Amino acid sequence: MMTIDILSVLPELLESPFSHSILKRARDKGLLEIRVHHLRQWAVNEYGQVDDYQYGGGAGMVMMPEPLAAAIESLSKERPYDEIIYLTPDGRRLEQRIANGLSLKGNLLLICGHYKGIDERIRDRYVTMELSIGDYVLSGGELAAAVLVDAIGRLIPGVLNDETSALFDSFQDDLLAPPVYTRPAEWRGMTVPDILLSGDPRKIEDWRHEQSLQRTRDRRPDLLKGE
Q: Which of 8, 88, 211, 212 binds ligand ADE (CB under 6 A)?
A: 88
DSSP 2: E
Site for ligand ADE (CB under 6 A): how many residues? 12
Q: Which of 137, 162, 199, 226 binds ligand ADE (CB under 6 A)?
A: 137
| Contact predicate 124/169, CB 8 Å | no
Residue 11's CB: how many other CB atoms inside 10 A? 16
Q: How many residues does the chain have?
A: 227
Q: What is the C-alpha to C-alpha distance for residues 163 and 126, in angstroms, rounded to an integer?
A: 35
17-25, 51-59, 82-90, 156-164 -> range binding ligand ADE (CB under 6 A): 82-90
| Minimum CB–partner distance for residue 198 and ligand ADE (Å) | 44
| Contact predicate 8/137, CB 8 Å | no
Cα four-point dihedral sign 46, 50, 54, 60: negative
Closer by beta carbon to ligand ADE, 131 or else 160: 131
Closer by beta carbon to ligand ADE, 54 or else 195: 54
Question: Per CB under 6 A, does 129 bind ligand ADE?
Answer: no
Closer by beta carbon to ligand ADE, 114 or else 208: 114
